[in-house]
Amino acid sequence: MEITCIQMAVAFGDPKTNFENVATKIKTAAQTGADVIILPEMWNTGYALTELATIADEEGKETQYLLSKLAEQLKVNIIGGSVAVKEEGEFYNRTYVYDRTGKLLSQYDKVHLFGLMAEDKYLTAGRMEHLFELDGIKQSSSICYDLRFSEWQRHHALKGAHVLYVPAQWPEPRLHHWRTLLQARAIENQCFVVGINVCGNNPENIFAGHSLIVNPWGEIIAEADAEERFLSANLDLEQVAEARGRIPVFADRRPELYQLDK
């Protein structure tokens, strides 16, 4: 499965520019022959949270129209990173996933809101897991801060996801957390983990870039620098079974002991 991550700078509080950019970038990325194209977090507005009432996508309509049309035209699967969506007076940090026919397969609202960037003040948290199948392969995506919650990634691996995607707006001062956590999630879940970050900056943060594709053995098979990039790799999905065969972590789990913290 060939994947291409779109690492981009997001124009702060400027959906018009971001929609135009994303449309152009998806069309170019499709020329890499990708089976799956993935966008970063909050690509429509950036973290202009105080302006969401006027700039968030109403019921996600503009995003859905664009991604569905491009997926169908280009015959490519698209994991739509995430966008700020306004729905029934609430705001969500939401992912939409499309298959090659342009059909909406799933949507996901970020479950763990990031207080350090005031998400908890402006956004409503999701409550649902996120699993979908692309070309017959079970996969999952969460969003940015969700990466720190190993239980959440494990939940999706246990439900059969062989690829875990993490669209993000991860700041540069914690680049070492980003790289380490992505590798750790791949090693512990023995599956592919793909981090798609933004680069550039907003008034308060410099973003790290360094989108990363990690195999089930925890090896980095592709990594971007801190500039706008397409990051591509071919995922050999047989490596999931190979890694699990070498060290049977899933068979050796003791889930009866893990309920103690509730």
Ligand X SMILES: O=C(O)CCC(=O)C(=O)O
191 a catalytic residue: no
Distances (CA, A) of 126 to 28, 65, 108, 141: 32, 22, 7, 13
For ligand X, the closer of residues 24 and 180 by Cβ is 180
Give the shortest CB-7-to-ligand X separation in angstroms.
Answer: 15
* CA pair distance 225, 205, nearest whole angstrom: 17
Q: Is 177 near ligand X (CB under 6 A)?
A: yes
* CA pair distance 57, 45, nearest whole angstrom: 9
Contact window for ligand X (CB under 6 A) among 8-16, 73-81, 151-159, 167-175: 167-175
Q: Which of 5, 144, 191, 199 is catalytic?
A: 144
Give the shortest CB-122-to-ligand X separation in angstroms.
Answer: 12
Q: Is 49 near ligand X (CB under 6 A)?
A: no
Give the shortest CB-226-to-ligand X separation in angstroms.
Answer: 16
Q: Show contacts with ligand X in window 102-161 (CB under 6 A).
A: 114, 117, 144-145, 148
Q: Is 174 near ligand X (CB under 6 A)?
A: yes
Give the shortest CB-205-to-ligand X separation in angstroms.
Answer: 8
Read off the amino acid at residue 68: S
Q: Is 83 near ligand X (CB under 6 A)?
A: no
Give the shortest CB-169-to-ligand X separation in angstroms.
Answer: 5
Binding mask 236-255 for ligand X (x = CB under 6 A): --------------------
Q: Is 92 near ligand X (CB under 6 A)?
A: no
DSSP, collapsed to helix, strand or coil, labels residue 167 as strand
5 a catalytic residue: no
What is the DSSP secondary structure assignment for residue 9, as one 8-state letter?
B
Do strands 104-109 and 90-98 pair parallel, antiparallel, or not at all (unpaired)? antiparallel
* CA pair distance 58, 4, nearest whole angstrom: 28
What is the DSSP secondary structure assignment for residue 111, as one 8-state letter?
S
- DSSP letters for 224-240: --SSSEEEEEE--THHH
* CA pair distance 35, 76, nearest whole angstrom: 6
Read off the amino acid at residue 66: L
Q: Which two tokens stand for residue 237?
A: 């999905």
* Positions marked catalytic: 41, 110, 144
Residues that bind ligand X (CB under 6 A): 114, 117, 144-145, 148, 169-171, 174, 177
